Chain A
Amino acid sequence: MIFAYSPAELWSIFVMQGFAGLSLFSVLLLMALGLAIIFGQMGVVNLAHGEFMALGAYTVYLCSTLVANHAPKLQPYYFVIAIIVAFLVAALAGLLVEWSLIRFLYKRPLDTLLATWGLSLIMQQSFRSIFGAREVTPTLPEWLMGSFKPTPNIDIPINGVFVMGLTLLLAFGVWLFMYRSRIGLQMRATVQNRTMSGAVGINTKLVDRFTFSLGCGIAGVAGAAFTTIGSTGPDSGSRYIVDTFLVVVFGGASSLLGTIASAFGIAQGQSILEFFLEGTAGKVAILLTIVIVLMIRPKGLFPGKIRTA
């Protein structure tokens, strides 16, 4: 397999698969960031996370149709605003879900699993009823189309670079927020020791609500980013949910660095294996590897040192 190619070809293959892997890495990381916050920090298993992502994608689609119908002159500029709107819509939806459902289930992670699965079914059917069962795509602005061609053999799509840039920006933003801001401090305090946090005056209920909606908002941005690389249908959300969970669990649920590292490793591994093992077999191989590693090291690559007492 590997030896059938010349070194120059191999190099081009690795570079292109590397970029495809980086693209996948940004996708996984965007999804995993939101989930790491919700699962890693709060212990809530949100199986509806994919649906919040789809919500963000559909929001961008709506913005696109609105702009096309009512303000065509704004066409080249709407996209960035649409991403912000997607964040807000998803975060608001997350707020609603937390208030109506999740806050009753904090001590019961297995029950959050089942309840959010039910929620995901409801959301999927809502998408299907409102937007139809077929996949939709927003009209992407001109500056996202096309690709760079540094050498004749290497083709780097611009939207891939955009998604990567957005991911890095978001990851940096999340880190800044969690570790350098007052609210982030309150979030971490509530997670580590709820009772003491309450005792020093932090409103833990509000913090929980905020944390959950932040995680969902990030999922919304992920969905917005995905519109640049694929179309959106009612079940787009469920396509990546298991991979995302594995990324979060593999990296060590409470560690942001772990999430980044594991998303990178899994994405690159899958990308390279997919080329040499044809498609689904590559994905199966990577999933098996993750599961085996998790069986040996259940807490993931970078387990947190937090006492759960």
Chain B
Amino acid sequence: MTNLALLALVLLVVLPVGLPIFRLNMVAKYLTYAFVALGLVMLWGKAGVLSLGQGVFFGLGGYCMAMFLKLEASDPVSTKIQSTPGIPDFMDWNQITHLPAFWVPFKSLPFSLFAVIAVPTLAAFVVGLAMFKRRVGGVYFAVITQALALILSLAIDSRQGYTGGRNGITDLKTLWGWDIRTHHAQYILYFVTCVLLLAAILFSQWLLSGKTGKMLLAMRDREDRVRFSGYDVSMFKVATFCFAAALSGLGGALFVLQVGFISPSLVGIVPSIEMVIFCAVGGRTSLYGAIYGTLLVNTGKSLFSENFPQLWLFAMGGLFIAVVVLFPDGLAGLFELGRKKLKPWMEKTRNKPSLPVGLPGTVAKGDQP
């Protein structure tokens, strides 16, 4: 509970009060990445499946939302200078004269909101089913998810008429009449993002607290034993994969609302691997760690890019290596280490003998929510 209270305090009070709206909007953007990192904690930290293609689901959710917003911004009145008014500008440039069939359902807000969660989940279901049923895991799975990220970014890139191509979908203005570009709107969207993020954490904790949590843990550490005990390991993995995809899709949609555009550069290999590093820096088994990790790495990225652009990639590369070699449990691990060192000291000052770790009644190493 204290973790939750602390995070809520930081997100809902400290940051909005302490930062100007420009910086707060950047933090909001980082928080949308945090959704992906959260999904990765569930998928990688708890279930043991590394996916290097979460950008795919982030992008799918983002594009669904962007398509709705773009259609709204391309009403016949504002596009009357185009040769075909009423369709998005990039379709006009590509001599497309009517809205392609798969764009038409996105005229409705309920459908778009549904699609933001449903499309990534469906994609994850198909891919996950095909791979986990065949027991593709580990490195092979990671490479295939990378390939999927590449495929989607290339596919979007190559069809400028249908998807906006490399430029992506830009010039988004209003959400059902409400202008999303004003400062006021940005504050509201920030708080909506925070609340949704906290809700996602609570939901994940609830999932982990029951039988599912134990199952995921068991699957991560001794998959064959779980299988021999009669459980369907592949369906659990598919379900976790879908959950991570849904979270990423939600993050993508919130990203589009706050940043105002989406492009294939957020879908490909590089952003997908970066999202893994956000999760790893925070501590791959820690839900709260994912949030802090994302905020930390992205803040570092902005600071470096603004002040020492040449050094940024060195720092990022070094961070990858350091996280893997030196502190595999990330920030959460360091935090736990600090707590353990402090505990005997605190116990001593209260004149109570401290129990060594591992006996019943003490906190076991490893799984902190």
Say if the beta carbon of A192 comes within 8 Å of chain B: no
Per a CB cutoff under 8 Å, which of B140, B159, B319 touches A249?
Answer: B140
Q: Is the CB of A115 within 8 A of B138?
A: no
Chain A interface, number of residues (Cβ within 8 angstroms)? 39
Q: Is the CB of A288 within 8 A of B151?
A: yes
Nearest neighbor of B139 in chain A, beta-carbon distance? A109
Q: Which residues of chain A in 83-138 are interfacial with respect to chain B, using CB atoms and an 8 Å cutoff?
A: 101, 104-105, 109-111, 113-115, 117-125, 128-129
Q: Is the CB of B313 within 8 A of A124?
A: yes
Given contacts A295-B131, A298-B134, contact A121 B151 (CB under 8 A): no
Say if the beta carbon of B143 comes within 8 Å of chain A: yes
Say if the beta carbon of A49 comes within 8 Å of chain B: no
Residue numbers in B under 8 Å from A294 (CB-CB): 136, 140, 144
Say if the beta carbon of B1 comes within 8 Å of chain A: no
Nearest neighbor of B326 in chain A, beta-carbon distance? A104
Say if the beta carbon of A230 comes within 8 Å of chain B: no
Say if the beta carbon of A145 comes within 8 Å of chain B: no
Q: Is the CB of A281 within 8 A of B324?
A: no
Given contacts A291-B148, A295-B130, A295-B134, contact A118 B143 (CB under 8 A): no
Interface of B is mostly: helix
Residue numbers in B under 8 Å from A183 (CB-CB): none
Say if the beta carbon of B321 comes within 8 Å of chain A: yes
Say if the beta carbon of B116 comes within 8 Å of chain A: no
Given contacts A122-B318, A124-B313, A249-B140, contact A115 B325 (CB under 8 A): yes
Alpha-carbon gap, A67 to B12, bound state (A): 63
Which of B17-25, B60-68, B269-277 lies at the interface? Answer: B269-277
Alpha-carbon gap, A172 to B143, bound state (A): 28
Nearest neighbor of A298 in chain B, beta-carbon distance? B136
Say if the beta carbon of B102 comes within 8 Å of chain A: no
Say if the beta carbon of B323 comes within 8 Å of chain A: yes
For chains A and B in complex, what number of residue pairs have CB atoms within 8 angstroms? 116
Per a CB cutoff under 8 Å, which of B146, B313, B314, B316 touches A242?
Answer: B146
Q: Which residues of chain B in 48-67 are interfacial with respect to chain A, using CB atoms and an 8 Å cutoff?
A: 50, 52
Alpha-carbon gap, A190 to B131, bound state (A): 30
Alpha-carbon gap, A41 to B325, bound state (A): 22
Alpha-carbon gap, A115 to B139, bound state (A): 14
Alpha-carbon gap, A280 to B154, bound state (A): 7
Q: Is the CB of A118 within 8 A of B147?
A: no
Q: Is the CB of B321 within 8 A of A101?
A: yes
Q: Which residues of chain B in 251-291 are interfacial with respect to chain A, using CB atoms and an 8 Å cutoff?
A: 269, 273, 276-277, 280
Q: Which residues of chain B in 86-136 are interfacial with respect to chain A, using CB atoms and an 8 Å cutoff?
A: 130-131, 134-136
Per a CB cutoff under 8 Å, which of B142, B146, B316 touches A121?
Answer: B316
Alpha-carbon gap, A121 to B312, bound state (A): 10
Nearest neighbor of A47 in chain B, beta-carbon distance? B273
* A residues neighboring B (CB under 8 Å): 43, 45, 101, 104-105, 109-111, 113-115, 117-125, 128-129, 242, 245-246, 249, 279-281, 283-284, 287-288, 290-291, 294-296, 298
13 CB < 8 A contacts A-B: A105-B324, A105-B325, A109-B138, A118-B317, A118-B321, A119-B320, A122-B313, A245-B143, A249-B140, A281-B159, A288-B151, A294-B144, A295-B136
- Name 7 extra pairs, CB < 8 A, besides A114-B276, A118-B321: A104-B325, A113-B50, A118-B324, A122-B314, A128-B310, A281-B155, A298-B140
